Structure 1
Amino acid sequence: MNQHLLQFGIIYMMFVFSLVLLVPFSVQVKAQHMTECDMYHHCLTCMGVSYNCSTCSKGYFLREFGDFYTCTKCPSQCLECESLSSCSACKIWNHYGKDCKSVCSKGCLNSTCDQSSGTCLCKDNYEGGHCDYCAKGKYGYECTMECPANCVTCHSDKNCTECKNGYHGDACKSKCPAGCVSCSSGTSCDQCKDGFWGDTCQHNCSRECSGGICLKKTGVCKDKKCRCDRCSSGRHGGNCNMDKKALRENSSAKTIQFQVCLLVVAVLFCSVDVTGTMYKMM
């Protein structure tokens, strides 16, 4: 009896000892599997087997490969990506675009810009969605130089690209003709002041035009239809230089003349019979 108990005890101790050995081994195998998934295939998580990835480490993207998904390394300029041709984040902080090869404008505040479009907040003296040109009145490499006094925009102190109203020339030093708002030269106005017309705005609009305003090219009062309510009271015509009263009197005279003509024709018609014989008028 004692011998049987001894044998049972030995078998039980061997069973417990085997469990002690097997449990760490199974944990080690599991740990090795997880390390293999992460280390060799850059998978954060796997499906079924270590090389069938479901999510990837930073700098890699999920890519279908036959019946499985693998993690493929992003292009060198990408911090993160969706494919080999589309970065979602750039590795170099002042780059942008799908391939992260475009550089943010030097006018961008802190030299940073939107990773997708390149738009940014501007430093002082810069303008535009990408802050890639100088603010009005500024020029130079860092847009810190002042344009000439009469320039709106310029490339240098001798080359203005837009002049203030009333000036023209390379450096906007020449004055436009007196009647011009703006001009491209001393002989060609772009816009006349109210009350003037002509190539150099040298002519005065008719005083009878409402507000003294007329068309630059023709001098006709601004409203081409010449509605009387656009002219000063009592005036009419393209230049509002016709007197309404005179026009009505002239129109009445013509109406009377026309009515007399009709009367004469009617009398002559009634004095002739159907055979063409004219009756003697009493």
Structure 2
Amino acid sequence: MENECPSGKYGTNCTADCHCNQNGSAENCSFFGYCHCLDGYWGDRCEKNCSSECRLRKCHQITGMCRCEDFKYGRNCDKNCTCDPRVYSGCSRSGGCLCKTNPDNATLNNTSCPDNMFCKENRNCVCKGWKYGSRCDQESTCNRNNTISPFSTGGCRCKLGYYGRNCEFECRTDCINSYWHNKCKGDGECWCLDGYYGLKCENKCNCASNEQCDEAGTCSPRLTRIA
């Protein structure tokens, strides 16, 4: 969901402060407070510099690993991929071949994936239908009405408003001060806005301006914004 709050704010009422490194992140954080790192930076707050060994100083926002161009791989993107460019779109960090999708990023069956798999937008071959496993020979137990799709390990990617091992439970609908009124955590509890806690996010934290509270209302030091 797009953050339409003023710069430096996020949340349903735009009352929560972003805590991103101003030098290494985009002007504003996401609706949930996540930072969007600029090229050359990584970390929760985009406070870390990508390695100087990374080509074009680009790295993964979470891991800090170098982001390689197509048909390059290795820790510093210094190895050439041997995958056939007529069949594959590039190679993974370890040198494995990545399948091709068609120009509009829709899924596409092609010779780079086995018959029981198709090429996903992330250029990885995934199982068709509700199958999973390395050979796509296992049937998912996900509730199909409440699930977007199964993960490759058999876990379920739940639709908005559901949770549980098989997406069999409905989220609470009586959350008050939460990011979503029909989206919950993995245990079904409300996802409270910054500054609130409680079963329904009904309690306001009583913390100092430089503190934040946990799910029990206990205050702890807040991470400071890097200037």
TM interval, shorter chain, is 0.3 to 0.5
Q: TM-score, normalised by structure 1?
A: 0.28
Q: TM-score, normalised by structure 2?
A: 0.33
Larger strand percent: 1
Pick 1 or 2: higher relative contact order, CA cutoff 8 A, min separation 6: 2
Higher Rg of the two aligned structures = 1
Larger % of helix: which?
1
